[in-house]
Amino acid sequence: MSGPAAGTAAAATTTDVVCLGESMVTFLPSQPGRLADVPSFGRGIGGAESNVACALAAAGHRAAWVGRVGADGFGDHLVETIASYGVDTSAVRRDPARPTGVYFRTAADRGTATHEVAYYRAGSAASAMSPENVPYEALFAGRVLHLSGITAALSPDCLALLRELTAPRPGRPLVSFDVNHRPHLWRGRAEDASVLLELARRADLVFVGEDEAEEAWGIVGAEAIRAALPEPSVLVVKRGSAGATVFASELRPGPRGAEAAAGTAAPAASTDTAAPAASAGTAAPATSADTVTPVPALRVDVVAAVGAGDAFAAGFLSATLRGLPVRDRARHGHLMAAAVLTVPGDLTDPPSRDRADRLVALDDVAWGRLRLAPGWTAADRAPEEVRTP
């Protein structure tokens, strides 16, 4: 079966979130230093979309990952490991002619000059994904379809696929899109990162960092980003240590397809009480159709700044599926990100839902006092929890 129309007609919504993208085997260094000096590496997995699927499944949601891997041992490892988190991998395709991608990285923060990463993904099985060879029935079987700009950068066929999946059509699931600008993936391509703006404008929920919006599009500041992206019902602008600003409006019915999910997956407008001046986490109206909710980040003792953006997206989506207010969605995103920031790899167990809900319910002062260190998700109650409902 091929083509989105056929898939949409047959799809049954039995999954909360379907994530499409490349996952790779990642080799993590045994010690800090240059790649040339690291004596050995431990094997893990990494991939923006599969990270989101694993985090959502660990948080108790029905998540599926759709991708393409080689018919090799690394492909076996990826599928088995992702499935071990409770993710449905039944729609993953195996490619006998192309390998599974792998990469090596250093322990340094991605944003620092000492960070190194060596990708071996050119010609990978995932780069061969196209509108002609993906299982549309599986892709449209969820309440939410989560995509990222990384997939668009893998190959012209992958870009064509994302254009197909974000095209407006009745019955389309709510489309979540994480811009995930990776400059090195666009080098030598006929297209440039401006296509990420095109894709984002066709999505219902968008995640983008202030830094990547400036680098990819030359757009500076959250308000300017919203002006460039007026179409998504929910726009999350990530601002690093400053937190996140969420622009939310009512889901718009029409051919974009979001009306199919409006009642279940994404009650987008905040239920927080508006105030004349937006204090931390308080929604203030930007226009008659939009609310702006700034949500401060947490103080975290960072072990490795890798995978935090994916974890934030998972936390936000998890709370969206539960119908929580906008502020609480962003706070759940911050907590999921903090869980990953305090471990060496891309994935970890999230805090229990009860624990996360208690922390999310803290008032602004108590939220601002939180400081999370390695091991915090395993503790029943952090000393910093000074007020809980």
Q: Is 336 exposed, middle or buried (0-12, 13-18, 19+ CB in 10 A)?
A: buried
- Residue 23 identity (one-letter amino acid): S
Whether 310 is catalytic is yes
Q: What is the pLDDT of residue 310?
A: 96
d(CA 360, CA 202): 30
d(CA 337, CA 354): 17
Name which of 175, 174, 46 is nearest 101 in CA terms. Answer: 46
d(CA 310, CA 288): 31
Residues 6+ apart with CB under 8 A from 114: 34, 106, 108
Output DSSP code: residue 303: S
> What digits encode the pLDDT tens for the residues 118-157?
889 999 999 999 999 999 999 999 999 999 999 999 999 9
| CB-CB contact of 308 with 348 (8 Å) | no
- Confidence label for 387 from pLDDT (cuts 50, 70 and 90): very low
Output DSSP code: residue 88: B
Grouping H, G, I as helix, E, B as strand and the rest as coil, residue 112 is: coil
Percent of the chain predicted with pLDDT > 90: 67
Q: What is the pLDDT of residue 141?
A: 93
Weakest mean pLDDT among 17-21, 82-86, 109-113, 320-324: 109-113
d(CA 375, CA 308): 16
Lookup: tokens for 308: 């935090």
d(CA 326, CA 311): 17
Residue 171 has pLDDT above 80, yes or no: yes
> What digits encode the pLDDT tens for the residues 274-311?
222 233 333 334 444 789 999 999 999 988 878 899 99
Torsion of CA 276, 280, 284, 290, to 10 degrees: 170
Percent of the chain predicted with pLDDT > 70: 82
Residue 162 has pLDDT above 60, yes or no: yes
Weakest mean pLDDT among 162-166, 204-208, 273-277: 273-277
Q: What is the pLDDT of residue 32?
A: 87
Q: What is the pLDDT of residue 256?
A: 56
What average pLDDT does this structure show over 209-215? 95
The catalytic residue among 310, 328, 346, 357 is 310
